[in-house]
Amino acid sequence: MRTSHYQVLTLILGITSVTILTIWGGQILVRSSQERLNPTFTDAQLWARYRWSFDPTQRRQAALLLVGKSADSPRRQQRLLQAQAWGTGPLAAVALNYQAQVAQKIGGNSFAKDFWLDLLRRFPLSPLSADAYYALGRSKIDLRAKLMQLHPSHPASLAAALELQNFGVDGFQGVTHLAKWGPRWHGAEELFRKACNQITGQNPTKEERELFAISLAKLGDGITALQCLKESPKNPVISLAIAASLVKGEQSSRDKGKHLIKQLLLKYPNSKESSEAIRLLVDNNQLTLDELSSFDKSLEKSSLGISIARVRFSLEKQPLEVLRTWKGKPEILDLQWELARKSILEKDFENALILLSIFQDQNLPEPALARIKFWKGFIQEKKGNKLLSKKIWDELIDHHPPGYYTWRASQRLGRSAFPELKNNNVSSYLPPLISWEPLLSEYQLVNLLWRLGLQKTAWETWRSIHLAKLRPEQSPSEIITEARLRMAVGDFWQGLSIISDLALQTSLEDCYKNDLLHRSQHPHRFLEEVMTASKSSGLRPEVLFAVAKQESRFSPGVESIQGATGLMQLMPETAQEFLDIPLQKISLKDPATNLLLGARYLSSLLEIWEGNPFLALASYNAGPNIVSKWVSEETYVDPELWVERIPFSETRFYTKKVLGNIWSYLNFNVTMCNVKKD
C-alpha cells in the first residue's frame, strides 16, 4: 500500500514534535537539577524533586529538607531517609546521622545502634559523628574519651563532660573540659562551684583552680571565682577576668574588684591588663579623682582608661589630642560623643562641629556615623543653613539602615511620619516578608546544612569546627554567622548580644552584609503572642517587638537584680495592676502573659502622655512620676535635645534605642543595596 504525501508529512511533524518536546523537557530537567534547594521551596516543590529529579544529589537534598519539615512525624522521616546515605561526601554522614536519630525515636537505642556504628565506621573524623560517639559511649568509656578528644567543642562532647560526675575515677576531667570548651553549658556553673569547694573530697591543682575561677568570672560570679583561688591572683589575665565581674556587682563586690585592680596596677603597671582594668573602672563610674592621681605616672601615656578619665575629670587641656591619639578604639567614639553632646546641649555648636568632624576621614561603625550625620544636620539647621542640613539628612536617610537617627532626620525633613503607636487597626497587620537567606560562613559544610534547613546540625557543626581552632578573634562575617546560628536554635540572649556589639564596633564595606547585620538584629520572635497582645492593647506589633528586644533580647526566662521578669521585664507589682486575679511571679516567664501585661502597661503610659512616644518610653524605663519632672517646652519642639538632657544615662540610651527599634521594625524590608547576592 502506498503512503500518501499527507501521511508522510504527518509522520515528520509528529517526530519533530516529539524531538522538540524531548529537548524542551530535558532542558527543564537540567535546569531543575541545577537548582539550589533551600527552605523557601514548598513541600510540593520539594516532593516533586525528591520523586522525579534525575540528579541523586538533588533527590537527597530534597529528602533532607523534607525531613527538617517533618519533625512531628518520625515514620515519615524514616521513609524519606531510606537509601539516602550513599557515597562518601558529607551529606552521606548527615543522612546517616538523621537515620540514627529517627531510629532512636522510633525504637530506642538498640534500634539505632547499627546506624551509629555505620556512621563511626564510615566517617570517624567527621563532626557529624560526634552524636554516634556519645550514643555508643554510654557503655564504652573509651568512646567518650575519643569524642572529647576529636570534637572538644561539640555539644555532644560538652554533654559527655557534664556526665563525668565520678571525680574519684576521672578526677576533674569533665569539669576541666567544660571550663576550656563550654563554660556556659547548662549545668557547668554548678560543677565549677563544687570543684572549687572540694565537695568531691579531692583537691584541684592550682592550674585547675585558675581555670575554674576564670570560668566563674565569665559567668558573672566573681566572688566565688576569687574564693576558688584560695589566694590572691598571681596572673594579670586572671586578675582582670575576676575584676571585670566584680566591678559590675553590688557595692561590696565593687570594693573587692577595685582592690584587685589596685593590686594588678601595683604588680603589672605597664601591662595591657592594667590599662584594661582602669578602663573597667572608668566605664563603671568606679574611679575617683584621688584614685586617678595615685596611679603610676608611667601609665598616663600607655593607658586608654587613664586618658579617658583625665578628659572626664577635666584634667586634660587638649582633649582633641587624646581623641586623635586613640582613634579607632570604640571607647574613644563614646568619648567623642560625650564631649560633642555636652557642647550641643550648651548650644556651643562650633565646638560640637569640630568634635563631630574629627573622625570624618575614618571608617566608622554605622551607628556612630549615623549619629554624627544627624547632629551635623541638626546644627546646620539651627544655624539657618537649611539646604546644607537637608543635604546631610538626605544622605543619612538614603545610605543608612532604618534607626533612631534616620527616623529623626525623616521627621525633620517631613519625608515620612512616625505612625501613632496606639489605636491603629492592628488586625490588618501583616508580618514583613522574611525570606530565607544564605549563611555566608567560611565553612561550606555549615552553609550547606543551613541551606537544607538543618539549623541545629549546622550550629553543632560550626561549634565543632570553628571553636576548636581557638582563634583569638573572629572575622565580622563569622560573628554574624555565630549570632544567626545561635538565634536559629533559640539562644537569642547571646545571639543578639554578640551581633549588637559587632554593629557598634565594626564597619562593614560589603553592602549586603551591612543589610544582613541590620536585619539580624531585629528578629520577629513570638509572633503569635505579640499579635495577641497587640490586638488586646491596641498597640502596634512593632512596638512590642522593639520593647521586648531591648528589655530581654526575646529571652522569656531572664530576671533582673531588681526582680523585673520576662520578655517585657515587668516588676510583679506593676504587672498585678493590669490583672484581675492574683499574679504568680512564675507566670511572668510565660511569653504570652508577659507580653499581654507589658502591652497594657505601655498602653496606659501612652494614654498618660497623649500618645507621645518619647515620654511614654522614657516612663516605661524610669517611671512616669520621674519623667514628669523632666517635661519642658523642648520636649515637643526639639525632642532630640530633650532626650539628651535626660539625667539618667540608662533611660537616655533606652529611649533612643527603643524608638530606633520601632523605626527599624516599621521599615524592616528596606534595603540599602540595589542587588542582593544569591
- Degrees to nearest 5, angle at CA 321 with 319 and 324: 115
Model confidence band, residue 577 (pLDDT cutoffs 50, 70, 90): very high
How much is the pLDDT for 280? Answer: 86
Q: Which residue has the cell 530606633?
A: 660
Amino acid at site 215: S
Q: How far apart are CA 250 and CA 193, in angstroms?
A: 20
pTM of the predicted model as reported, rounded to 2 decimal places:
0.90
CA-nearest of 67, 46, 43, 69 to 58 is: 46
Return the biggest CA–CA distance within the chain: 120
Which amino acid is residue 350, in one-letter code? E
**pLDDT score of 167:** 46
Rounded Cα distance between 670 and 546, Å, is 17
The DSSP 8-state label assigned to residue 401 in this structure reads -
Rounded to whole angstroms, the Cα distance separating 49 from 56 reads 10
Q: Which residues are catalytic?
A: 551
Side chain identity at 460, as an amino acid letter? E
More confident: 192 or 426: 192
What's the pLDDT at 267?
A: 86
Grid cell, residue 134, equals 556519645
Is residue 627 pLDDT above 50, yes or no? yes
Which residues neighbour 353 within 8 Å (Cβ) at sequence distance 6 or greater?
376, 379
* Confidence band of 30 (pLDDT split at 50, 70, 90): very low
Whether residue 44 has pLDDT greater than 50 = yes
Q: Do 483 and 520 contact (CB within 8 A), yes or no?
A: yes
Statement: residue 98 has pLDDT above 50: yes
Choose the weakest-confidence range: 327-336, 491-500, 619-628. Answer: 327-336
pLDDT of res. 472: 62
- Please, what is the end-to-end C-alpha distance for the chain in angstroms? 62
**Considering only 17-21, 133-137, 203-207, 343-347, which range has the smallest mean pLDDT?**
17-21
The Cα 405–Cα 37 span in angstroms is: 39
To 5 degrees, how large is the angle CA 435–CA 437–CA 439?
Answer: 155
pLDDT of 4 higher than 80: no
Mean per-residue pLDDT, 382-389? 96
What's the rounded Cα separation, in Å, for the pair 393 and 373? 7
Is the separation of the CB atoms in 386 and 366 below 8 Å?
no
Is-contact 278 331, C-beta < 8 A? Answer: no
> Which parts of 358-400 are beta strand (E)?
none
Reported confidence tier of residue 509, pLDDT bands at 50, 70, 90: confident
Is residue 138 scored above 70 in pLDDT?
Answer: yes
User: For residues 422 and 539, is the Cβ–Cβ distance under 8 A?
Assistant: yes
Band of residue 117 on the pLDDT scale cut at 50, 70, 90: very high
